[in-house]
């Protein structure tokens, strides 16, 4: 396992043309840029030494602390105000480019493999419900929630979040009906 793909992805996302391109539309920032930043962080986990991972694990039973951390940080970056601020202020942009990879991506990478069936289920269902809730808000809001983005773009994001929630629900149902639901004892400790 190497952290190289994560670093590469991080750097590519930080290139000004890529950054501006992915922030040109609300749907791109929320559904492409932020998830890719989190993915980069996930791939960066090998940067942490074995001993640090073991130390964290003692405080992260079933991955609960890490999943909670990722959830709260994701909530901050889901605020329309934060998405606006990231475009308007370089300092906020730097915060986004560090907190999303490290506190969402890396935290998920350190926690997801430790999470059991119930913890994963709660996390996934809540994530799907959030996609529906936020999607509905964006689709139905008569006003622009981000002053840097067009109303039509906001409504498109709403519909995309709805579609994402629907696909994820179907996938989850599929896993429950046909897939394996045990997570493997060796990971649970």
In the complex, the residues that contact other proteins under the rule CB under 8 A are 57-62, 64-65, 68-69, 72-73, 75-76, 79-82, 84-85, 88, 143-151, 189
- What does the alpha-carbon distance between residue 38 and residue 101 come to, in Å, rounded to a whole number? 4
C-alpha 178/C-alpha 122 separation (Å) is: 19
Cα(78)–Cα(146) distance, integer angstroms: 11
Return the closest-CA partner of residue 154 out of 100, 92, 84, 89.
Answer: 84
Q: Which helix (H) or strand (E) holds 94?
A: helix 90-99
Looking at the Cβ atoms of 142 and 179, the one nearer to other proteins is 142
In the complex with other proteins, the residue whose CB is nearer, 180 or 189, is 189
Q: How far is the CB of 176 from other proteins (least distance, A)?
A: 26
Distance of closest approach, residue 170 Cβ to other proteins, in angstroms: 30
CB of 151 to other proteins, least distance (A): 7
Q: Which residues of 116-151 are buried (b: 16+ CB within 10 A; e: fewer)?
A: beebbeebbeeebebbbebbeebbeeeebbbebbee
The least CB distance from residue 160 to other proteins, in Å, is 19
Q: Which is nearer to other proteins, 54 or 180 (CB)?
A: 54
The least distance separating other proteins from the CB of residue 32, rounded to whole angstroms, comes to 19
Kindly tell me which of 7 and 76 has the beta carbon lying closer to other proteins.
76
State which residue, 152 or 174, has the beta carbon closest to other proteins.
Answer: 152
Instruction: List, as one string, the DSSP characters of 40-59.
Output: HHHHTGGGS-HHHHHHHHHT
């Amino acid at each position: 396992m190497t952290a190289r793909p994560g670093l590469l992805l991080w750097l590519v996302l930080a290139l000004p043309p890529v950054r501006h391109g992915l922030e040109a539309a609300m749907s791109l920032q929320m559904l492409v840029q932020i998830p890719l930043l989190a993915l980069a962080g996930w791939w960066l986990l090998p940067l942490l030494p074995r001993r640090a991972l073991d130390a964290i694990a003692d405080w992260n039973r079933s991955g609960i602390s890490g999943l909670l951390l990722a959830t709260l940080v994701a909530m901050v970056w889901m605020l329309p105000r934060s998405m606006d601020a990231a475009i308007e202020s370089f300092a906020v942009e730097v915060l986004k480019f560090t907190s999303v990879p490290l506190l969402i991506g890396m935290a998920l990478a350190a926690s997801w493999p430790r999470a059991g069936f119930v913890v994963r289920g709660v996390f996934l269902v809540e994530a799907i419900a959030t996609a529906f809730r936020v999607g509905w808000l964006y689709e139905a809001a008569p006003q622009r929630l981000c002053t840097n983005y067009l109303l039509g773009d906001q409504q498109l994001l709403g519909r995309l979040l709805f579609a994402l929630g629907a696909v994820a629900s179907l996938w989850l149902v599929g896993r429950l009906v046909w897939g394996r639901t045990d997570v493997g004892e060796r990971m649970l400790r």
